[in-house]
Chain A
């Protein structure tokens, strides 16, 4: 059934998601950090994990950002095809929501106008917006506040079909070995496998929206996720990069059909302070 959505509601929703995502670390991550602490033998690894758990508690209690890098905002929209929007432009109202959220929430403006001139836009806009048209009359808005410490450590490679799973695994593990100490481990590793060049990158990012601990539905892929997580946690990079068993909390793989000649693989790194929230209107 067709439905009208007044766009001012989108602004309010995005504003609120900015605050909630930045102040409250997901329970799934807090639980995973606690479990990781129990498995660590090194005092320093336990100490770093305790510090991250305590940090999340302080942030929530005092309405402070979990991390000073409050990120660039990435929005995923699922737009029901029976919706009619009124009252402005969808992209503009989303950016207005970001503007208000970052101002009202005392969040950091971390976006520059272009990569060469690098003038801070002052209000953390514009957001990066991905949208998909889906059946129905609902609007799902997912907001990710993506820090660049982890984003900078992402990578994409066009492998050959002959490389197979061993090649994919080697690429991911070697990449994580190289970059993990520079981000804020324990990491959440998003992998996009298949599709085309740009689709692999998007799949990797979207895989980061899964709850920590939730495996892929496809049992074959879930097995590969477990295998990768075990290898990555054998690297002894550990919490804060200071040694230990917990280099990653989760490896999430999303796949898509691809060309007979192709094997794209993208790795999008999420730091422990992985912030995302959704609302359905």
Chain B
């Protein structure tokens, strides 16, 4: 089995996202916003006051470790995506283009991905030190009180992921 590789660069285009197939390898250069459990809860409690416009953006399910003084970030790998399943369809409806995490998604999320023509990407779980090397800049955008769960904007370069669920609803996971 060959692995097809693509580069995805900011600004992210929906047409490009829709050409990706489950299992493809994608290298991202641009930016992503982090949000995990607590940030998703807050965002969806008030969708009219989102900390960043969702349209055309990618959310990375990640809570990084604090940076050493000489680095933008410490370890920054993906967390388990399924914990965000109950929030994701609402965000996709508002134009979110993609999510990066680890592990399978629910049926409802896959349907919402197909409906909106988005993509779910998986980063290698547990490779936080290595993935952190591809994050070149970090800015805290919102919810600073949540600590590692705050919304961060990561500038990424050659950030490697696989297509977990494509816009047709096909998945990389063997048991789905």
**A interface, CB within 8 angstroms of B:** 42-44, 47-48, 51-52, 54-56, 58-59, 62-70, 106-110, 118, 120, 122, 149, 152, 177, 181-184, 235-238, 240-243, 271-273
Contacts of A62 in B (CB 8 A): 129
Q: How far is the CA of A48 from the CA of B123 in the complex (A)?
A: 10
Residue contact A68 to B74, C-beta cutoff 8 Å: yes
Other-chain contact of B126, A47, A66, A107 (Cβ < 8 Å): A66
8 closest A-B pairs by CB: A184-B125, A184-B126, A182-B103, A59-B129, A68-B128, A68-B75, A55-B130, A65-B75
Q: How far is the CA of A43 from the CA of B122 in the complex (A)?
A: 16
Residue contact B175 to A177, C-beta cutoff 8 Å: yes
CB-contacts of B123-137 with A (<8 A) = 124-130, 132-133
Residue contact B65 to A52, C-beta cutoff 8 Å: no
Taken residue by residue from 92 to 121, chain B's Cβ proximity to chain A (1 for < 8 Å, 0 otherwise) reads as 000000000011100000000000000000
Contacts of B63 in A (CB 8 A): 68-69, 108, 110
Contacts of B23 in A (CB 8 A): 44
Q: A183-B103, A241-B103 are in contact. Are A109 and B148 (CB under 8 A)?
A: yes
Contacts of B80 in A (CB 8 A): 149, 152, 182-183
* Count of residues in B whose CB is under 8 Å from the partner chain: 41
Contacts of A68 in B (CB 8 A): 62-65, 74-77, 79, 128, 132, 148
Q: How far is the CA of A152 from the CA of B173 in the complex (A)?
A: 20
Most buried by A among B23, B63, B103, B147: B103
Residue contact B124 to A120, C-beta cutoff 8 Å: no
CB of B172 closer than 8 Å to a CB of A: yes
Residue contact A106 to B66, C-beta cutoff 8 Å: yes
Q: A69-B79, A242-B172, A242-B173 are in contact. Are A52 and B147 (CB under 8 A)?
A: no
Residue contact A52 to B127, C-beta cutoff 8 Å: yes
Q: Which label, helix, strand, loop or mixed, suits the secondary structure of the B interface?
A: loop
CB of B146 closer than 8 Å to a CB of A: yes
CB of B49 closer than 8 Å to a CB of A: no
Q: A65-B75, A182-B104 are in contact. Are A236 and B174 (CB under 8 A)?
A: yes
Contacts of A56 in B (CB 8 A): 129
Closest Cβ neighbor of B62 among chain A residues:
A68
CB of B68 closer than 8 Å to a CB of A: yes
Residue contact B173 to A181, C-beta cutoff 8 Å: yes
Q: How far is the CA of A179 from the CA of B92 in the complex (A)?
A: 25
Contacts of A237 in B (CB 8 A): 174-175
Q: A55-B128, A241-B173 are in contact. Are A106 and B67 (CB under 8 A)?
A: yes
Contacts of A241 in B (CB 8 A): 102-104, 122, 125, 173
**B interface, CB within 8 angstroms of A:** 1-3, 23, 38, 62-68, 74-77, 79-80, 82, 102-104, 122, 124-130, 132-133, 146-149, 162, 172-175
Q: How far is the CA of A121 from the CA of B38 in the complex (A)?
A: 15
Other-chain contact of A243, B66, B127, B174 (Cβ < 8 Å): B174
Other-chain contact of A55, B122, B126, B149 (Cβ < 8 Å): B126
Q: How far is the CA of A184 from the CA of B125 in the complex (A)?
A: 5
Residue contact B3 to A44, C-beta cutoff 8 Å: yes
Q: How far is the CA of A63 from the CA of B75 in the complex (A)?
A: 10
Residue contact B102 to A66, C-beta cutoff 8 Å: no
Q: How far is the CA of A42 from the CA of B23 in the complex (A)?
A: 12
Residue contact B126 to A122, C-beta cutoff 8 Å: no
Residue contact B102 to A58, C-beta cutoff 8 Å: no
Distance between A186 CB and nearest chain B CB, rounded to angstroms: 10
Residue contact A47 to B122, C-beta cutoff 8 Å: no
Q: How far is the CA of A64 from the CA of B80 in the complex (A)?
A: 21
Contacts of B62 in A (CB 8 A): 68
Q: How far is the CA of A47 from the CA of B1 in the complex (A)?
A: 13
Other-chain contact of B38, A48, A63, A118 (Cβ < 8 Å): A118
Between-chain CB contacts (< 8 Å), 5 pairs: A66-B129, A67-B126, A69-B77, A106-B67, A109-B147
Q: How far is the CA of A116 from the CA of B127 in the complex (A)?
A: 30
Contacts of A65 in B (CB 8 A): 65, 74-75, 128-129
Residue contact A44 to B103, C-beta cutoff 8 Å: no
